[in-house]
């Protein structure tokens, strides 16, 4: 197909054969910007509930901050329980009587990736009905390179310390304690999860 040359005005009127083949044409009605039908009644309520829950989870994850963070010794045993939890549950947890049904191994993780994984493991465990989670955080690490290229945190139990700090901030965690030697000892934690609320 060749383009018209600059030889004056061109006839741009439609080809009569094309018009007759096309037939009668009418303009489409304007329907506005809505592309899906509006959700009403129960569906709207469930959608709003799911959206609110998603926003709440993002906010909870973002709230896993550093305020009050303290470094823990590599071989130090850890134990924590929420106010109101009976001492028998914590004792059964620490003695390994509540066996983990889910395991998260954080060896080789950087702090930010470990944070996301801990949050996701707790949420996943609750959603699946798991009551006990084993988090293998390790002990003292080899450190990592900071922005300037210097090695930071060598010999410090960074991941262990952060996991201890984060778990205390998560509403889905009732208690946690250092594991038995067969499950990692002071390099791992048993985590008791709160039962997830049943959806209506």
Give a yes or no: residue 29 inside a domain: no
Which of 143, 129, 70 has the alpha carbon at shortest distance from 101? 129
Rounded distance between C-alpha atoms, residue 60 and residue 13, angstroms: 64
Q: Which of 167, 175, 190 is nearest to 96 (CA)?
A: 190
For the chain, what is the domain count? 1
Residue 72, domain member (yes or no): no
Q: What is the pLDDT of residues 67-115, one digit of tens each?
A: 667 888 888 999 999 998 998 999 999 999 999 999 999 998 988 899 9
- Indicate the average pLDDT of the chain: 77
DSSP-assigned beta bridge partners for residue 104: 135
Q: How far apart are CA 195 and CA 128, in angstroms?
A: 10
Q: Is 174 left (phi over 0), alpha (psi -120 to 50) or beta?
A: alpha
Res 195: pLDDT: 84
Give the residues across from 136 on adjacent strands: 105, 188
Q: What is the pLDDT of residue 55?
A: 43
| Within a domain: 101 | yes
Q: Report the distance separating Cα 90 and Cα 83, nearest Å.
A: 12
In terms of phi and psi (left: phi > 0; alpha: psi -120 to 50; beta: otherwise), the region of 96 is left
Q: Model confidence over 170-183: pLDDT tens digits?
A: 999 999 999 999 99
**6 part of a folded domain:** no
Does residue 177 fall inside a structural domain? yes
Amino acid 9: pLDDT: 54
* 161 contact partners, CB below 8 Å, separation of at least 6: 69, 70, 71, 72
Residue 132 has pLDDT above 50, yes or no: yes
Mean pLDDT computed over 157-179: 94
Range of the domain at 122: 79-193
Question: Residue 140 — very low, low, confident or very high, per pLDDT cuts 50/70/90?
Answer: confident
Whole-model pTM?
A: 0.63
Summarised one tens digit per residue, pLDDT across range 6-58 is 555 555 555 666 566 556 666 555 554 444 445 555 555 565 555 544 444 44
CATH number (domain holding residue 101)? 3.30.1370.110
Q: Could you tell me if residue 12 is inside a domain?
A: no
Residue appearing with tokens 């989670």: 133
């Amino acid at each position: 197909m060749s383009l018209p040359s600059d030889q004056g005005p061109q006839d741009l009127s439609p080809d009569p054969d094309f018009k007759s083949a096309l037939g009668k044409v009418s303009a489409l009605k304007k329907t506005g910007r809505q592309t899906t039908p509006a959700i009403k009644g129960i569906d709207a309520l469930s959608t709003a509930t799911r959206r609110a829950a998603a926003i709440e989870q993002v906010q909870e994850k973002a709230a896993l901050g550093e305020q009050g963070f303290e470094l823990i010794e590599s071989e130090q045993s850890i134990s924590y329980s929420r106010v109101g939890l009976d001492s028998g549950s914590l004792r059964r947890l620490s003695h390994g009587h509540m066996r983990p049904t889910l395991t998260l191994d954080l060896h080789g993780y950087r702090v930010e990736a470990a944070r996301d994984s801990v949050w996701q493991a707790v949420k996943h465990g609750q959603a699946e009905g798991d009551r006990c989670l084993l988090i293998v955080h390790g002990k003292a690490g080899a450190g990592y390179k900071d922005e300037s290229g210097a090695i930071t945190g060598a010999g410090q139990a960074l991941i262990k310390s952060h996991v201890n700090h984060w778990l205390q901030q998560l509403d889905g965690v009732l208690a946690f304690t250092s594991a038995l030697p067969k499950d990692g000892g002071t390099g791992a934690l048993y985590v008791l999860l709160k039962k997830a609320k049943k959806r209506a």
